[in-house]
Structure 1
Amino acid sequence: MSRTAEYDDKTLRANIRLLKVMLDKVLKHQASPRVAAIVEQLQRQFSALQRDGNPARRQQLLKTLEDLPAETLSEVIRAFSLYFSLLNIAEESTQLQHRRRQIEKNKHYWRGSFHDTLLAFKQSGVTVEQLQPLLDDLHYLPVMTAHPTEAKRRTVRGALRSVFISHEKLQNTGIKGYFREEVLDRLQNKIQLLWKTDEVRAHSMGVIDEIDSGMFYFPLSLFEATAQVYRNLQRALVDVYGSSAAAQVHIPSFLNFGSWIGGDRDGNPNVKPQTTALALRLQARTITQEYLRRIDLLREQLAYSHGLCQPTEAFLHSLENDREMLGESAAAIERNCLQEPYRHKLSLMKLRMHKRLELIEQRIVGDSSQTDAHAYNDIQSFHADLILIRESLISHGDEALANRDLQDLIRLVDVFGFYLMQLDVRQESTRHSQAVAEILSAALNIDYMNLDETQRLQVLSEAIAIPGGLGYDASALSPVTAETLEVFQIMAQMRREIGHDCFSRYVISMTHSASHIMEVLLLAAQNGLAGRISGQWYCHIGVSPLFETIDDLNHIDSVLRGLLSQPVYRALLQASNLRQEVMLGYSDSCKDGGTLASAWGLYRAQQQVVKISDDEGIPCRMFHGRGGTIGRGGGPTHEAILAQPPATVRGQIKFTEQGEVLFYRYNNMETAIYELTMGATGLMKASLSLIQPVEQDQTHNLAVMSELAQLGERSYRQLTEHTPGFLDYFYEATPVAEIGQLNIGSRPSHRKKQDRSKYSVRAIAWVFAWAQSRQTFPAWYGIGSSLESYCAGNPERLNALRELYKNWPFFRNLLSNAQMALSKSDMSIAEEYSALCVDPEVGKRIHSLIASEHRRCVDWVLEIAECDQLLAENPELAASLRRRNDYLGPLNYMQAGLLRALNEDTEDGQSRWMKPLLRTINAIAAGMRNTG
Structure 2
Amino acid sequence: MKDAADALARDIQLFTALLAEVLREHSRKRVLVIVERLRDGFVTLRAEDDPELRAKLMKRIDGLDPQTLSEVIRAFNIYFGLVNTVEEVHAHLRRLAQVSAGGPLWIGSFDQAVRELKTDGLSPQQVQGLLDHLIYLPVFTAHPTEAKRRTILETFRRIFLIAQDLHKRRLNDEELEERLQAIMAEIQILWKTDEVRVHKPQVTDEVRQGLYFFRESLFDAVPEVYRNLERAVRRAYGPDTGLRVPSFIRFGSWIGGDRDGNPFVKPETTELAIRMHHELVLELHLDRVRGLLRRLSHSDTLCRPSPAFLDSLDADEDYWVDTMGQSLRRYTNEPYRRKLAIIRHRLEANLARVRARIAGNPDDRPAGYAEVSEFLADLYLIRDSLISHGDANAAAGPLQDLIRLAETFGFHLVHLDLRQESRRHTEAVTELFARQPGAPYYQAFSEDQKLVALGEAIAHPHPFVIDKGTLTPATRETIEVFEVIARMRAEISPDVFGAYVVSMTHSASHVMEVMLLARLAGLVGRDPSGWFCQIHVSPLFETIEDLGQIDRVMASLFDDPTYRALVKASGNQQEVMLGYSDSCKDGGILASAWKLYEAQKKVIALADDRGVSCRLFHGRGGTVGRGGGPTYEAILAQPVDTVHGQIKVTEQGEVLSYRYANPETARYELTLAISGLLKASRCLIEEPEPERRDYLAILDELARFGEEAYRDLVDETEGLLDYFYQVTPVDAIALLNIGSRPSHRQDADRSLASIRAIPWVFGWAQARHTLPAWYGLGRALERWRNNDVERLAKLQRMYQEWPFFRALLSNTQMSLFKAEMTIAREYLRLARDQGRARAIYDKIQAEYQRTLTQVLNVAGLHGLMEETPDLRSSLAGRNIYLDPLNHIQIAVLERYRREPSDEAREQWLDPLLRSINAIAGGMRNTG
What interval of TM-score do these two structures reach, taking the shorter chain for normalisation?
Answer: over 0.9
Letter in 2 for 1:916: P
Paired AA for residue 167 in structure 2 = Q
- The question of 1:373 aligning with 2:369 is answered no
Alignment of 1:816-895 (within 5 A): 816-895=810-889
Counterpart of 2:71? 75
1:312 Cα deviation after fit? 1.7
Equivalent of 2:639 in 627, 645, 667: 645
How much has 1:315 moved relative to structure 2?
Answer: 1.2
Question: Per the alignment, do residues 452 and 6 of structure 1 end up closer, same or farther by CA in structure 2, a change over 3 Å counting?
Answer: farther
CA contact (8 A) 1:835 1:844 kept: no
Amino acid at match of 1:787: L
Instruction: Quote how far apart the aligned CAs of 1:874 are.
Output: 0.8
Q: Is residue 77–residue 918 contact of structure 2 (8 Å, CA) maintained in 1?
A: yes
Partner residue of 2:520 out of 526, 532, 541: 526
Residue type of the alignment partner of 1:912: Q
- 1:46 equivalent to 2:42? Answer yes
Once residues 273 and 119 of structure 2 are traced to their aligned partners in structure 1, the CA distance between those partners, rounded to angstroms, is: 46
- 1:136 is displaced (CA, Å) by 0.9
What displacement does 1:8 show? 4.1
Amino acid at match of 1:271: V
Q: After superposition, what is the alpha-carbon deviation per residue over 1:784-804, rounded to whole angstroms, capped at 9, x for unaligned?
A: 111111111111111111111
Match 1:348 to one of 342, 363, 372? 342
Partner secondary structure for residue 331 of structure 1: coil
Question: Residue in 1 aligned with 2:23?
Answer: 27
Structure 1 counterpart of 2:776, from 773, 778, 782: 782
1:86 is the counterpart of 2:101? no
1:146 aligns with 142
The answer to whether the 8 Å contact 2:572/2:612 transfers is no
Equivalent position SS for 2:647: strand
Q: Aligned AA for 1:656?
A: T
For residue 327 of structure 1, report the CA deviation from its aligned partner.
3.2
Aligned to 1:812: 806
The equivalent position to 1:15 in structure 2, one of 11, 23, 48, is 11
1:917 aligns with 2:912: yes
Q: What is the CA–CA distance in structure 2 between the aligned matches of 1:771 and 1:166, rounded to whole Å?
A: 33
Q: Does the CA contact (< 8 Å) of 1:441 and 1:447 recur in 2?
A: yes
Alignment of 1:164-313 (within 5 A): 164-245=160-241, 248-313=242-307
**1:7 touches 1:875 (CA, 8 Å); kept in 2?**
no
Cα offset, 1:333, TM superposition? 6.9
Contact 2:145–2:206 (Cα < 8 Å) also in 1: no
SS of the residue corresponding to residue 841 of structure 1 reads helix
Structure 1 spans left out of the alignment, 5+ residues? none
Q: TM-score, normalised by structure 1?
A: 0.98
- Closer, same or farther in 2 for the Cα pair 1:825/1:613, shift >3 Å? same
Matched residue pairs, number? 925
Structure 1 residue 506 and structure 2 residue 509: aligned?
no
Cα deviation, residue 922, structure 1: 1.1
How far 1:734 sits from its partner (Å)?
Answer: 0.4
1:280 and 1:419 in contact (8 A); partners too: yes
- Report the counterpart of residue 97 of structure 1 in structure 2: 93
The match for 1:359 is 353
- State the secondary structure of the residue aligned to 1:347: helix
What is the aligned-residue RMSD (CA, Å)?
1.3
Identity %: 49
How far off is 1:911 after superposition? 2.7
Q: Which amino acid aligns with 1:414?
A: E
- 1:257–1:420: 8 Å Cα contact kept in structure 2? yes
Partner of 1:723: 717
Q: CA deviation at 1:835?
A: 2.0
In the TM superposition, residue 473 of structure 1 has moved relative to its aligned partner by: 3.0
Q: Aligned-pair distance for 1:691?
A: 1.0
TM-score, length-normalised on structure 2? 0.98
Distance 1:624 1:799 in 2: 32
- Code of the aligned partner of 2:152: V
Q: Which residue of 2 aligns with 1:486?
A: 480
Offset at 1:90? 1.3
Residue 617 of structure 1 aligns with which residue? 611
Q: Are residue 110 (structure 1) and residue 110 (structure 2) matched?
A: no
In the alignment, is the contact (CA less than 8 A) between 1:35 and 1:75 conserved in 2?
yes
SS in 2 for 1:199: coil
**Corresponding residue of 2:425:** 432
The answer to whether the 8 Å contact 1:651/1:683 transfers is: yes
Q: CA deviation at 1:146?
A: 1.1
Using the alignment, how far apart are the partners of 1:36 and 1:388 within structure 2?
62
Q: Is the CA contact (8 Å cut-off) linking 2:353 and 2:367 kept in structure 1?
A: no
* Structure 1 counterpart of 2:156: 160
Conserved? CA contact 2:200–2:737, under 8 Å: yes
For 2:141 and 2:293, locate their aligned partners in 1 and report how far apart those are by CA, in whole Å: 36
Whole-Å Cα distance in 2 between the matches of residues 401 and 747 of structure 1? 48
Q: Deviations over 1:789-834 (max 9, x none)?
A: 1111111111111111111100010000000000000111111112
Write the distance in 1 (CA, Å) between the matches of 2:104 and 2:498: 33
Query: 1:603 matched to which residue of 2?
Result: 597
The corresponding residue for 1:591 is 585
CA offsets, 1:761-780, max 9 Å, x none? 11111111111100100000
Q: 1:366-423 CA distances to partner (integer Å, 9 max, x unpaired)?
A: 234x333351121111111111111111111111111111111111111111100001
Q: Contact 1:149 / 1:764 at 8 angstroms: preserved in 2?
A: no
Provide the residue aligned with 1:659 in structure 2.
653
Give distance in 2, aligned partners of 1:67 and 1:438: 60
AA paired with 2:249?
A: L
- Does the 8 A contact of 1:7 with 1:876 survive in 2? no
CA contact (8 A) 1:225 1:669 kept: yes
Return closer, same or farther for 1:510/1:722 CA change in 2, 3 Å cut-off.
same
Cα distance in 2 for residues equivalent to 1:8 and 1:474: 66
Which residue in 1 is equivalent to 2:924? 929
8 A Cα contact 1:108 1:114, kept in partner: no
Superposition deviation, residue 70 in structure 1: 2.2
1:382 and 2:390 are equivalent in the alignment: no
Alpha-carbon displacement from aligned partner over 1:11-43 (angstroms, at most 9, x marks no partner): 110110111110111111111222222212111
Cα shift at 1:188: 1.1
Provide closer, same or farther for how the CA distance between residues 113 and 351 of structure 1 changes in structure 2, counting only shifts above 3 A: same
Alignment check: 8 A CA contact 1:151 1:742 kept:
no
Counterpart CA distance in 2 for 1:910 and 1:327 is: 69
Secondary structure of the residue aligned to 1:544 is strand
Question: Is it true that 1:739 corresponds to 2:694 in the alignment?
Answer: no
Give the CA deviation at 1:252. Answer: 1.4
Cα offset, 1:320, TM superposition: 2.3
Structure-2 change in CA distance of 1:22 and 1:714 (3 Å): same
Q: Could you say which residue in structure 1 is the equivalent of 2:62?
A: 66
State the partner residue of 1:563.
557
SS in 1 for 2:139: strand
CA displacement, residues 106-154 of structure 1 (integer Å, 9 cap, x when unaligned)? 2672321111110111111112111111011110000001111522122
SS in 2 for 1:543: strand
- What are the within-5 Å matches in structure 2 for residues 699-778 of structure 1? 699-778=693-772
Q: Is the 8 A contact 1:469 1:527 kept in 2?
A: no
1:281 and 1:108 mapped to 2: Cα distance?
44
How far apart, CA to CA, are the structure 1 residues paired with 2:298 and 2:388? Answer: 13
Which letter maps to 2:284?
A: E
Match status 1:330 vs 2:324: yes
Q: In 1, Cα distance between the equivalents of 2:149 and 2:900? A: 29
Match of 1:56 in 2: 52
In the alignment, the residues of structure 1 paired with residue 423 and residue 327 of structure 2 have an alpha-carbon distance, to the nearest angstrom, of 56
CA separation of 1:252 and 1:283: change in aligned 2, threshold 3 A: same
Letter in structure 2 aligned against 1:429: S
Pick from 610, 626, 633: which aligns with 1:632?
A: 626
